[in-house]
Amino acid sequence: MSDIPQKRCIGPCGQLLPATTEFFRRVRDRLRSSCKECERAYDHGRIRSPEAKERRRQQQKNWDRRREEHICKKAETIRLKSGEPRALAIDHCHKTGKVRGLLCQACNTALGLLEDDIERIQMLLAYLQAS
């Protein structure tokens, strides 16, 4: 029996496959939920207009600019085992859906757990500064 862990594809095939990059694409520091074959079939079914491609290119430029301006400097020091910098998380307001910027995953998770409550964050900051 193989020591490689198995992962079930959540795509249409639903197959149980080895959890390796041979079958699943890597995103950040984990494997995607759909296998490469299901993703390929899905991508092939989509039609991309020239306008959509241009819009995507502009969005990518904006994200590249934001990546350079991100607020979380700790993210620059966090590395994956491969030595690559960890991907930044897209922070957004849950009430309005508006994107606020890029943060490291830890800071983005902390904001989510604190429910973007400024009073709560200030109380925690005061607690840390007092200790």
Both 65 and 83 in one domain: the answer is yes
Mean pLDDT of the 2-9 span: 86
Prediction pTM value:
0.45
User: The domain spanning residue 104 has which CATH number?
Assistant: 3.40.1800
Q: Phi then psi for 8, rounded to 5 degrees?
A: -90, 130
Query: Is residue 62 located within the same domain as residue 119?
Result: yes
Do 71 and 94 have their domain in common? yes
- Same domain? 90 vs 36: no
pLDDT at position 58 is 78
Q: Examine the domain organization and report whether 67 and 107 are in the same domain.
A: yes
User: Could you tell me which residues come within 8 angstroms of residue 89 by beta carbon, excluding any fewer than 6 positions away?
Assistant: 102, 103, 104, 105, 107, 108, 109
Kindly state whether residue 73 falls inside one of the protein's structural domains: yes
Please tell me whether residues 118 and 56 are part of one structural domain. Answer: yes
More confident residue, 88 or 1: 88
Instruction: Find the domain containing 117 and state its range.
Output: 50-130
Whole-number Å distance between alpha carbons of 131 and 125? 10
pLDDT digits (tens, 9 = 90+) for 64-74: 666 666 566 66
pLDDT tens per residue, range 8-30:
988 888 899 999 999 999 988 88
Domains held by the chain: number: 2
Compute how many other C-beta atoms are within 10 angstroms of the C-beta atom of residue 23. 16
What distance in Å separates the CA atoms of residue 127 and residue 120, rounded to the nearest whole number? 11
Q: State yes or no: pLDDT of 38 exceeds 80.
A: yes
Mean pLDDT over 77-101 rounds to: 71
Q: pLDDT at residue 82 above 70? A: no
